[in-house]
Homo-oligomer: A and B are copies of this chain.
Amino acid sequence: MSEQDGMSYAPLGRPRPVCGPGDFVFAAVGLDHDHIYGMCNGLLEAGGTLKWVYDPDPAKVAAFVGRYPLAVPADAEATVLDDPEVVLVAGASVPADRAGLGLRVLRHAKHYFVDKPPLTSFDQLAAVRAEVAETGKKYAVYYSERLHVESAVFAGQLIADGAIGRVIQVLGMGPHRLNAPRRPGWFWERERYGGILCDIGSHQLEQVLFYGGSDRGKVSSSRVGNFAHKDHPGMEDWGDVSVVLDNGAVGYCRVDWFTPSGLGSWGDGRTFILGTEGTIELRKYLDVGRDPEGDQVYLVDNDGEHHLSVHGKVGYPYFGQLILDCLEGSEEAMTQEHALAAAQLSLEAEANAIRIED
């Protein structure tokens, strides 16, 4: 596995523990997406203690233990859920199965930290909202394309500091490398991965809500297509969505599976934020044709053009905040409403999408 293909994109940051060993015990359950490694890295660097790992597939467990030798393979999911020491379960199962696991986790009085997309249907969304309200536990979501990207974290700070005035539009492009031969069966089944706008689109819509400054949004239009993978009828290899937030900020997102093999990264992810007093462009994973290092920020304001290379300089505050939120009942990392609002908007985009006929 290499970071090149993005399937195992798992950033490593500097350890900044917010608690001592054993203060925050967590487990990994459901290893279908390699995002689980990014999730565990983040929690470990922030001081979490990884106790258990469980997946029905022994090969996935073996690979995981190879990376985290202190994780103990559990014989069953119940072993993890019944352990009173476990505060949080991190999971990256097949998207359609994520809510099911999450509901079980919450019912066992534990917090859940789930890979995006956190769920794939409106029924799941309603059940999750009900269970969160009932248990008071967190259903936190790993929107890695903001939380685990230093330039994306930095952009949030710039906006909060008023660097570009009021945000008018967030425009995101999230291309991904396909790596077809390495993809599991569920990757091609729309009901299992949830559709492209529900899946990788959720990263983008989360950013629109976050940078746009509201958790209430409405889809203006959305579209999906299968332009080049008709041998997989369940595939959506392209999608886009336009949204408007209740504060008037607008968003547009485009996602696709067409990263050319010549690109030195798994995707040329970009975010353009238009403000009344300036603009921000993020070149997240590389500066194409210029620099293989990502986290390149281009801020233009009324004083000039500013190119800021922030890789290694910002860190990933989300994970420490999440641990403290779980331990202290706060909501600093991300509000529950925000995490699920992005999921809801993604579901609405997917459900109402125009299907491009070509």
Contacts and interface: CB of A to CB of B under 8 A. Distances in A.
A303 B264 CA distance: 10
A5 to B, nearest CB: 15
B168 A262 contact: no
A250 B223 contact: yes
A288 B282 CA distance: 12
For the complex formed by this chain, how many copies does it contain in all?
2
A221 B175 CA distance: 22
Nearest to A238: B168
Interface stretch (A23-31, A71-79, A268-276): A268-276
A238 B356 contact: no
Nearest to A258: B274
Nearest to A244: B356
Given A220-B221, A250-B225, A290-B307, A279 B258 contact: yes
Question: What DSSP secondary structure best describes chain A's contact surface?
Answer: strand
A169 B225 CA distance: 11
Nearest to A171: B254
Interface string A164-188: 0010110101010000000000000
* Interface bracket on A: 35 or more
B220 A305 contact: no
Contacts of A169: 238, 240, 254, 256
Interface of A: 166, 168-169, 171, 173, 175, 220-221, 223, 225, 227-228, 238, 240, 242, 244, 247-250, 252, 254, 256, 258, 260-264, 268, 272, 274-279, 281, 288-290, 298, 300-307, 354, 356-358
Q: Which 6 A-B residue pairs are closest in the complex by CB-CB distance?
A: A248-B358, A221-B221, A289-B307, A262-B304, A261-B302, A289-B305
